[in-house]
Structure 1
Amino acid sequence: MNIKQIYAILMFRRRTVFIMLTVFFALSLAVSLLITKKYFSVATIMVNQRSVDPITGLSLPIQTMPGYMATQLDIIGSHNVARKVVKSLKLDEQDDKRAAFVKSDSKSNIVDWLADGLLKDLDIKPSRESSLIQIGFFAKDPEMAARIANAFVESYIHTSIEMRAQPAKSSADWFDAQMVSLRERMEQAQSALSNYQQQNSVVVDLVSGNEKMDIENGRLSELSKQLLESQAQTNELQARNDLIQAVRKGGNSSESLNEVLNSALIQSLKSDLAHKQASFAELSNSIDKNHPRYKQAEAEIRSLRQQIQQQTRMVLDSLASGLATSKQRDKILSQALAMQKSKVLELKQQYDEIAVLKRDVENQQKAYDAAMQRLVQNRLESEVNHTNISVLNTAIAADKPAKPKLLLNLAIGVFLGGLFGICTALCQEWLDRRVRFASDITDAIGLPVLGFVAAETNQGRASKFPANFMRPSSAAPNSVG
């Protein structure tokens, strides 16, 4: 069946199509007039996706995620927000709503039932390229539609504040519980540091402690230096003493030793002895041995020699005594150095232990301060009463109803009536087939058409060809009556 045949069928059964079109048009008109009118009010809000946290001063980059706006739409259309609308407008206290709830035989409470009903008439439309969201509501009363739309905006803002404040409040409560243990740990660390300092009499101030450590290290260095000098002196004295002993064991005179030669007293005595010996030599030539002067001079020379020997022994003995004294000094310095080393090591160990205890105190203090900062921040966030949502336009009562849309319903009725009329006409043609073209006969019986007789027109005149006009079936067919 081609378009020309369909057109011929519809023109022949145009009455059926017109009847269906009229019926559907009348039904659309009747439904549009009988259906309850509903008014639509819409409020516009803006969600600031680059808002700044008022507590920390930091931006919130997570709000730029694509899923953020979708989440906000789900929050607006949530049952929780709808319950807040019911509570804020006190819809559950209205008599007509209570009566409707009783008739519904719902097993839930009236607040949930009304909330579910509000969500059915709620219309949420986000902007594609901006942060605007339109929250609209359909209602029989235009004032009620505006009130409910604005109530949804307020409930959404309140819910957003709650969703932000509730986790902060929970975190603040958790930090409150942790602050007790953190405070106890900090006090224990401080107590351990104080007790250690008191037990070891260690200076609390690190600056003075470092100065004391420097002083003790200086003493240690000075003792080490003194010990090295004393040991060098002892070695030198030991070498001299060994030389003296070797000279004595060899039977050599000790007068050639440097210690003896460097003694001014011995040299003075030797000088006096030389003068006395010279005088005695002159005197021995002039007087007899028994002469008193001779004996006196001889006694003086003997006395000087004894003094020289005595002073030599004293010098050598003083060298040995100096060696013993130097060794004793070495021993004392060694003991003092060992004690100073022990003191420095003990002091260093104490300060190392204090440093560990101080680090423990500092770490506990840092943990306590960080927890306190987070606690204060969460407390402030839990008490915040604003959000990044701004109301751009509030809903106002509409002048004209939004439903039903008369022109749209009539257009739909005309479209459906025409479509149903065409389908009905084609069904009638299928049930009661007529021959309208020569091709219909050819398709039906499979024989060619040899000719046709022109039908008389409505004006009583003959068609273009006479009745006995014959033409091949291949010629262009004409309609037959």
Structure 2
Amino acid sequence: MLTNIVKILSARWKPGLLTFLLVITLVGVITIVVPKKFTSTATVLVDLKNSDPLQGQILPAMLSAAYMATQVDIIKSERVAIKAVRNLKLDEYQPLKEQWRAETDGAVPYESWLTTLFQRKLEVIPSRESSVLNISYSASDPQFAAALCNAFLAAYVEVSLELRTEPAKNYGQWFELQAAQARARLEKAQNELSSFQQKNGIVGTAERIDIEVNRLSELNGQLVQVQALSADAKSRKDQGNENSPEVLGNAVVASLKTELSRQESKLKELATTLGPEHPQVKTSQESIKELRDRLSSEVRRVAGSLAVNSAISNQREATLRESIELQKNKLAELKQVKDQAALLERDVESAQRAYDSLLARQSITDVESKINQTNISVLRKASPSPEPSFPNPVLNALVGAFLAVFASAAVIVLAEANDRRVRSEEDLNVVGLSLLTTIGIANQRSLAVSELDRERPVGALGRAKVMLLGLSNKD
């Protein structure tokens, strides 16, 4: 098999060589003619361990494996592209506007068309097992490629910072609005509490309640005492006769009784010596009667004073009971006022806590919205490339050589398939013939056959017949 291949190559090397040279020449011409492209690359480091500067905690999103893919999508986003275009003022370049009108007739927004145009040549490649991103841009001008690559890099950093601060700014506005509403609720609650305190004359509710409780206790103590006095007065009133302690202990009654006893003794003495109609007896009887009248009057007066004392005690008891009821009602009102004031105070405290919480959160978001640092570090900016990235002469030469060899082999195979020659015993086996003998080409008839073979190409079966004919003539 290898012998046949060598024989085929040695027989048909000219068209193969011609094909090889044509392909190599074509690849060389394409390498020279194709416009050159220059690629500039910038490198950035994305710090996945960057922590929140306010709370000192690692951001949960940065622990995700998709974070780097998200950064790649951000770099390729329209927002970054628009910012890069605006930074280079390419949106003001008139030739680009004319090209845009010619291609779209104004149907597509100019900035969208520009971003699509420049995004085609942008390439972002994350490094394996690292946090490094390679941002590359290709253009026919190395200076333009470097400038646009750096513009995309700067726009990416700016957009990353905006994506970090914009939520804080939005939240800051929302917290500011909520803080204003909370402040209004706090002022309203404070005004309601102040109005309630002024209306009810509340200065120190707890101290006032303690005073009123002490007052109620005092009134209850006085009531107990008055009740005891009333019971005693009533008992004395019920016993209000000549033998009652108050009557017996009265000095006037005692003196009248003594005088009455003396006059009665005197009357008894006069009665033993004088007659009933005697003037002295009459005078003594009248004195006794007068003393008895005075004694009865004095006893009635003392009994009346006991009734008055009992009535006064009862009236004082009733007054104290009324005062106690009023004090109880007053104390109940004070407790109700205290409960209402406590409720209003809780409302004020709740509103104050809500307002303080919103103020603290607003302060944090305000600081977050003013952060000017990101977790992106530029490792290398893009610079103009001295050598084109496309076409690559070495790569083209290797590819051209491969294609030339392949094309040459294809030409030889096609030529051999269209004009098959018998060059060995294996070729006879292919057509189903057997080899009788082998002769040299020095024989004249064999030379004739070879000449005939060169002048008139025939198939494998025809060449075999010629060879057999030559053998038979020789015999």
Contact 1:182 1:364 in 2 (8 A): yes
Aligned pair partner of 2:205 in 209, 234, 248: 209
Q: How big is each residue's C-alpha offset from its partner over 1:174-210, in whole Å with a ceiling of 9 and x where there is no partner?
A: 555556555544443333333323322222xxxx222
Q: How big is each residue's C-alpha offset from its partner over 1:206-227, in whole Å with a ceiling of 9 and x where there is no partner?
A: xx22212222222223323433
Structure 1 residue 124: Cα displacement: 0.8
**Aligned equivalents of 1:127, 1:354: Cα separation in 2:** 67
Structure 1 residue 326: Cα displacement: 3.2
Aligned pair partner of 1:401 in 384, 388, 392: 388
| 1:345 aligned partner, one-letter code | A
| 1:195 aligned partner, one-letter code | S
Residue equivalent to 1:248? none
**Aligned equivalents of 1:49, 1:319: Cα separation in 2:** 103
Alpha-carbon RMSD across the aligned residues, in angstroms, is 5.0
Does residue 334 (structure 1) correspond to residue 330 (structure 2)? The answer is no
| 2:202 aligned partner, one-letter code | V
Residue equivalent to 2:399? 412
After superposition, the Cα gap between the structure-2 partners of 1:426 and 1:345, relative to the gap in structure 1 and judged at 3 Å, is farther
Does residue 160 (structure 1) correspond to residue 127 (structure 2)? The answer is no
Residue equivalent to 2:379? 392
Quick one: percent identity of the two aligned structures? Answer: 34
Structure 1 residue 426: Cα displacement: 5.6
Q: How big is each residue's C-alpha offset from its partner over 1:91-130, in whole Å with a ceiling of 9 and x where there is no partner?
A: 3455665676576566446554443232122121123333
Aligned pair partner of 1:220 in 216, 224, 237: 216
Number of residue equivalences? 432
Structure 1 residue 397: Cα displacement: 2.6
Contact 1:20 1:421 in 2 (8 A): yes
- Give the 5 Å matches for 1:11-410: 11=6, 13-14=8-9, 15=13, 22-54=21-53, 59-94=58-93, 97=96, 104=103, 107=106, 108=108, 111-175=111-175, 181-203=181-203, 208-231=204-227, 234-235=230-231, 244=239, 255=243, 320-410=307-397
Contact 1:9 1:429 in 2 (8 A): no
Residue equivalent to 1:250? none
| 2:188 aligned partner, one-letter code | Q
Structure 1 residue 152: Cα displacement: 1.0
Structure 1 residue 76: Cα displacement: 0.8
After superposition, the Cα gap between the structure-2 partners of 1:162 and 1:264, relative to the gap in structure 1 and judged at 3 Å, is same
After superposition, the Cα gap between the structure-2 partners of 1:190 and 1:36, relative to the gap in structure 1 and judged at 3 Å, is same
After superposition, the Cα gap between the structure-2 partners of 1:415 and 1:215, relative to the gap in structure 1 and judged at 3 Å, is farther
Classify the secondary structure of the residue corresponding to 1:123: strand
Classify the secondary structure of the residue corresponding to 2:44: strand
Classify the secondary structure of the residue corresponding to 1:128: coil
Residue equivalent to 1:462? none
Provide structure 2 residue ranges, at least 5 long, that are not aligned to the other structure.
275-284, 443-475
After superposition, the Cα gap between the structure-2 partners of 1:240 and 1:67, relative to the gap in structure 1 and judged at 3 Å, is farther
**Aligned equivalents of 1:158, 1:141: Cα separation in 2:** 26
| 2:64 aligned partner, one-letter code | M
**Aligned equivalents of 1:39, 1:348: Cα separation in 2:** 88
| 2:217 aligned partner, one-letter code | S
Structure 1 residue 155: Cα displacement: 1.0
| 2:36 aligned partner, one-letter code | K
Farther-moved stretch of structure 1 (75-84 vs 301-310): 301-310
Classify the secondary structure of the residue corresponding to 2:66: helix
Farther-moved stretch of structure 1 (41-50 vs 166-175): 166-175
After superposition, the Cα gap between the structure-2 partners of 1:96 and 1:10, relative to the gap in structure 1 and judged at 3 Å, is farther
After superposition, the Cα gap between the structure-2 partners of 1:211 and 1:62, relative to the gap in structure 1 and judged at 3 Å, is farther
**Aligned equivalents of 2:178, 2:101: Cα separation in 1:** 51
| 1:330 aligned partner, one-letter code | E
**Aligned equivalents of 2:415, 2:289: Cα separation in 1:** 179
Classify the secondary structure of the residue corresponding to 2:377: strand
**Aligned equivalents of 1:169, 1:378: Cα separation in 2:** 7
Provide structure 1 residue ranges, at least 5 long, that are not aligned to the other structure.
246-252, 291-297, 459-481
Structure 1 residue 351: Cα displacement: 2.4
Classify the secondary structure of the residue corresponding to 2:143: helix
**Aligned equivalents of 2:362, 2:59: Cα separation in 1:** 20
Q: How big is each residue's C-alpha offset from its partner over 1:279-315, in whole Å with a ceiling of 9 and x where there is no partner?
A: x99xx99xx888xxxxxxx999999999999998777
Classify the secondary structure of the residue corresponding to 1:66: coil
